[in-house]
Amino acid sequence: MIWVIGGTSEAREFINLFENREILVVTVATEDGRKILLGGNIFAGRLDYGGMVQFIRMNKIRVLVDLSHPYAVEVSENAEMAAASEGIPYLGFSRRRAERFDEAVYFDSLDSCIQQIIVMEGIFFFTTGVKTLPDFERIKGNNRFIYRIIPSQESLGICMENNISLGDIVAMLGPFSRELNTALFKEYKADYVVMKDSGTRGGTREKLLACRGLGIVPLVIGRSEKEGYRDLVKMKIDAVRLFKG
C-alpha cells in the first residue's frame, strides 16, 4: 500500500491523480478532515512515531507520501523517521512560501509573535487555527481577540473550553477570497491580522492583499521551507514506481 498522510489541498489533488485508489491508504488528523475526502481507505486520528511504525506494519505500507500541513513539523519528522526505521521510501512535499509584503511584520516562530503581541494594543483577528488559540488567550489582556476557525465540533469545543465569547468567533470553511477577507476584517474593525505563511494554496496572499487594502498590519508567523517535491504529478509517478518495486 501507498500511505498518504493528508490534511491539505495538495493531498486531495494527489489522491485524485489515481484511477486505482485501492493501492492507497490515507490518514488525516481529524474526523472533519476525513469527511472532506470522499471514498477509499481513509482513517482519522493523530499518530505519534510509535503509532506510525505500527500503522506501516499493519497495513503493509511500501511507500509513505507526506502531504501534511507545512506547519505540522512534528508529523513530518515522525513520518520520515518511521519510514527509515521500517526501510521504506519517504516522499515529502514542499509547499512554496507566499511572497513577502513590505508592510507585514514577520516572525520566525509562534513564541516570537506572542512576545510582540504582549506589548501591542488593539483588535486582533486570528487566522492561525484553534491549536494556537490557548497560547494567544493567555496574553489577551484588555485587547479584543477574534478567532476565525473551521465550523467543526472540535474547533468550537476548544473555543468553549477557553471561554471565547460567541461574538469573537468566526466559524467558516475556506478558502477565502481577498474580497471576503476584506469584508470580515473590515466588519470586525481589525487593527492587526495574525496569520501563518501557509503559502499561496493556504490563502496567505489573499489575506495580505486584504490587509493592504484596509491599511491593517499583518503579523505573519513564518516557517522553514523543507526540501521535497513541488510537482504532484512527478510525486505520483515516483510513488507508483517505488510501490511496484
- Is the domain of 180 the same as that of 133? yes
Instruction: Please give the helix or strand (H or E) that residue 81 lies within, else none.
Output: helix 73-86
Please, are residues 123 and 143 in contact by the beta-carbon 8 Å criterion? yes
Per-residue pLDDT reduced to its tens digit, 121-165: 999 999 998 989 999 999 999 999 999 999 988 899 999 999 999
Task: Describe the crossing of helices 49-58 and 73-86 by its angle, rounded to 10 degrees.
Answer: 50
pLDDT on residue 183: 98
Question: How far apart are the C-alpha atoms of 17 and 235, rounded to whole Å?
Answer: 10
Domain count for the chain: 2
- Is the domain of 120 the same as that of 49? no
- Is the domain of 45 the same as that of 86? yes
- Is the domain of 67 the same as that of 166? no
Taking the model in full, what pTM does it have?
0.76
**Single-letter amino acid code for the residue at 136:** F
Ranges of residues in the chain whose predicted pLDDT is under 50: none
Residues in the chain: 245
Please, are residues 122 and 143 in contact by the beta-carbon 8 Å criterion? yes
Contacts of 172 (CB under 8 A, 6+ apart): 148, 150, 151
Phi, psi of 33, rounded to the nearest 5 degrees: -65, -35
Tell me which residue range forms the domain holding 35: 2-95+225-244
Q: Residue 26: which CATH number? A: 3.40.50.720
At 131, is the secondary structure helix, strand, or coil?
Answer: helix
pLDDT on residue 29: 82
